[in-house]
Amino acid sequence: MKKVLLAFAMTWCFGLCGTAHAQPPATQAQPAPPPAAPAAAAPAPAMITDADIKALSGPKAEDKAKGDPAGTTTGNVSDIPVGDAKKGLTLGDIVNQVGQNQIAINFVWTLVAGFLVMFMQAGFALVETGLCRAKNANHTMMMNFMVYGAGMLAYWLIGFAIQEGGVGAVANLGGTAPLSAEYAVKLFGKDLGLFGMNGIMLTGATYDVGVMVMFLFQMVFMDTALTIVTGTAAERWKYSAFLISSLVMGAFTYPLFANWAWGGGWLATLGSNFSLGHGYSDFAGSGVVHAVGGLTALAMGILIGPRIGKYTRDGKATAIPGHDITMVLLGCFILAFGWFGFNPGSTLGASANGNLRIASIAVNTMLAGMAGSFAAMCYMWGRYGKPDASMTGNGLLAGLVAITAPSGFVNPVASVVIGLIAGVLVCVSVEFIDRVLRVDDPVGAISVHGANGLWGVISVGLFADGRSNYGGAWNGVPGSVTGLFYGDGGQLVAQLMGVATLIGFVFTMSFVLNLVIEAAMGQRVSAKTELEGLDIPEMGAVAYPDFVLKADAMGVE
Amino acid sequence: MAFVGLAITFLGFLVSLGSLGISNSNTVRGVIVLVGIVVSLVGIMGVLNQAYMKNAIWKK
């Protein structure tokens, strides 16, 4: 029986590949391609007919009653659903089952990857709370907790439709055809997609299993971008303003850029419209997720101002240490774990269309993350004499952020180089933002996600080696994404266009929207609240009621 | 000055976008996009942030 199934699998792969249903037996024979080797070395695939299928039988009832401790007979021909009981099992039934199995594999892979990304929220919560003072722990933790719910509701309401409403059919998920309406404008003689229009509240035709998988996966990505901002504005952000700001970002800011990059928008079509490589290519979101979050964090950092005590009267920066470094490093580990969903999951499948590349994406992710932490540790050790723990953790995150966009397009050597640069970049960027720009960023989110998100986007245009192949084309351009070092300078220009859009458009949009919120309700807590700690005035309870906090931290004379 | 900073930042984006219609040469486009990025960075760091720094909390 195994031989018959193997022969069938060969027939399917070489003869019927690409068809949705089995052809009648008489028409199954396909012209054999010219043999590359002598005919004797390549035996022709066996022909399978419905008669062969009917001859198959599963284990006998008495054998099944004995159990299957070795697992050799569980899962067999008797488990394949029959379409027509009168006809019995046919080749068509088996082919349909093969197709559904492929989509099922992709569904499960993408959903599990999404679950991992969802758990990254816990990592962010630990990192940010650990890097803040104990008097603000409840407030910081609650922001990280509720950004998930607030962002999700906004995204479900309108954000998903803006982002993915016109993405079209995604083959890995069996087609998401209901997501078919993209609003575009004519510019420079080309149609440039601006936003999607289907999928509001997942109603109508978008009540579809493929769309649901897409929604879950994209939703957790969006939430990752939102939670970046809470780190920069921590310890002085009014909770009510945070909620409104997160709703707006989840509904509009994030989905708009995500549409341009991933939803069939104008950045994705820079290749097909303007011959810029394969268009803006951001495999898992260094730009879409991290740079959007990091630049919004920069906007908030400028707008809300530094914490009291961060700078002396002459503008010199002082260190305000966090309260729990163990929490920080545990959070970093959780984030690194979740990143295995973030990057490899972005194939949206594990079967067909080049998706076995998930193995190299996972390895690239791992290598760049640890290269980043190693470089940051060495930098801090050399510059300040100690291997600073929090910056080593940030180095890990920087490497992971930077490899997110190129993870699907580069080789392991390039991943290490990208990670090493990211590890140094995050340290230099933290110093620059802290001491030169004087923007107070308690957790280093602008540097980790903003600076390294942009670096990740650029690195695709440099290091993509042209060896990946996801179904033969990317962004509608045949072939593989190839960077400058491998011969395609146009790809680098496409990536730079993405950077220009992030800095020039996304930052401006984020700043203006938060400026409106500032004018309407104020973004910052009072100085008294800030000095007391935000836990009691904003949340009504401290995070650690059984512990005596330092008197000065509580504002007690 | 804050609004001037925002305007310059957005102008940088428009300069970069304009590169698509100005030339078919990827080298020329690349140079224009880089100019746009620099303009945006000047808007953020040189103008907008400086405007907010004038009234920074540590100066009060």
Domain ranges of chain B: 2-59
Give yes or no for A507 touching B (CB within 8 A). yes
Same-domain check for residues A223 and A127: yes
What's the pLDDT at A146?
A: 96
User: Which residues from chain B sit within 8 angstroms of residue A489, using beta carbons?
Assistant: 26-27, 30
Asked if residue A207 is part of any domain, the answer here is: yes
What's the pLDDT at A24?
A: 31
Q: Which class for A86: exposed (0-12), middle (13-18), buried (19 or more C-beta within 10 A)?
A: exposed
User: Which among A24, A54, A79 is the end of a domain?
Assistant: A79
What's the pLDDT at A18?
A: 33
Same-domain check for residues A125 and A62: no
Using 50, 70 and 90 to split pLDDT, how confident is the model at A222? very high
Domain membership of residue A27 as a residue range: 2-79
Specify the range with the lowest mean pLDDT, choosing from A55-64, A88-97, A178-187, A311-320: A55-64
**CB-side neighbour CA atoms (13 Å) of A254:** 34
Taking CA A113 as the corner, what is the angle to CA A400 and CA A360, rounded to the nearest 5 degrees?
A: 55
Structural domain count, chain A: 2
User: Which among A34, A63, A79 is the end of a domain?
Assistant: A79
Using 50, 70 and 90 to split pLDDT, how confident is the model at A34? very low
What's the pLDDT at A553?
A: 53
What's the pLDDT at A61?
A: 87
User: Which residues from chain B sit within 8 angstroms of residue A438, using beta carbons?
Assistant: 49, 53, 56
CATH number at residue A165: 1.10.3430.10
Same-domain check for residues A73 and A153: no
Global pTM reads: 0.89
- In chain A, what percentage of residues exceed pLDDT 70? 91
Contact criterion met (CB < 8 Å) for A501 and B13: yes
Mean of the per-residue pLDDT values of chain A: 90
Using 50, 70 and 90 to split pLDDT, how confident is the model at A548? low
Specify the range with the lowest mean pLDDT, choosing from A11-15, A105-109, A207-211: A11-15
Instruction: Look up residue A288 and give its two tokens.
Output: 């879409």
Contact criterion met (CB < 8 Å) for A438 and B56: yes
Tell whether the model's pLDDT for residue B43 goes beyond 60.
yes
Asked if residue A93 is part of any domain, the answer here is: no
The reply to whether ipTM tops 0.95 is yes
- Of the candidates B10, B27, B29, the beta carbon closest to that of A505 is on B10
- Of the candidates A489, A504, A511, the beta carbon closest to that of B13 is on A504
Same-domain check for residues A380 and A507: yes
Cα(A307)–Cα(A443) distance, integer angstroms: 13
What's the pLDDT at A21?
A: 30
Q: Which class for B50: exposed (0-12), middle (13-18), buried (19 or more C-beta within 10 A)?
A: middle
**Coil, strand or helix at A436:** helix
Same-domain check for residues A331 and A400: yes
Asked if residue A544 is part of any domain, the answer here is: no
Asked if residue A94 is part of any domain, the answer here is: no
CB pairs under 8 A between A and B: 99
Tell me how close the Cα of A312 comes to any Cα of chain B, in angstroms: 6
- What average pLDDT score do residues A70-91 get? 89
Contact criterion met (CB < 8 Å) for B13 and A305: no
What's the pLDDT at A557?
A: 46
- What average pLDDT score do residues A49-63 get? 85
Q: At what angle do helices A239-248 and A137-154 cross, to 10 degrees?
A: 30
Name which residue leads in pLDDT, A192 or A47. A192
What's the pLDDT at A554?
A: 54
Specify the range with the lowest mean pLDDT, choosing from A164-173, A425-434, A436-445: A164-173
Same-domain check for residues A473 and A527: yes
User: Which among A79, A104, A129 is the end of a domain?
Assistant: A79
Tell whether the model's pLDDT for residue A15 goes beyond 50.
no
Name which residue leads in pLDDT, A445 or A56. A445
Query: What is the Cα Rg of chain A in Å?
Result: 27
* Model pLDDT for residues A500-544, shown as the tens digit of each residue: 999 999 999 999 999 999 999 999 999 999 999 999 999 999 999
Asked if residue A546 is part of any domain, the answer here is: no
**Chain B nearest-CA residue for A461:** B30
Name which residue leads in pLDDT, A45 or A16. A45
Dihedral, CA atoms, A411, A416, A422, A425, nearest 10 degrees? Answer: -130
Instruction: Name residues 1-60 of chain B within 8 A of A (Cβ).
Output: 6, 9-14, 16-17, 19-21, 24, 26-27, 29-30, 33-34, 36-37, 39-41, 44-45, 48-49, 52-53, 56-59
Same-domain check for residues A72 and A119: no
Cα(A405)–Cα(A395) distance, integer angstroms: 17
User: Which residues from chain B sit within 8 angstroms of residue A308, using beta carbons?
Assistant: 57
Instruction: Look up residue A218 and give its two tokens.
Output: 């994209």
Instruction: Look up residue A186 and give its two tokens.
Output: 């004519």
Contact criterion met (CB < 8 Å) for B48 and A511: yes
User: Which residues from chain A sit within 8 angstroms of residue B52, using beta carbons?
Assistant: 302-303, 305
Instruction: Look up residue A500 and give its two tokens.
Output: 């220009």
Using 50, 70 and 90 to split pLDDT, how confident is the model at A550? low
Give yes or no for A524 touching B (CB within 8 A). no
Q: At what angle do helices A507-521 and A239-248 cross, to 10 degrees?
A: 140
Cα(A531)–Cα(A555) distance, integer angstroms: 6
Same-domain check for residues A229 and A347: yes
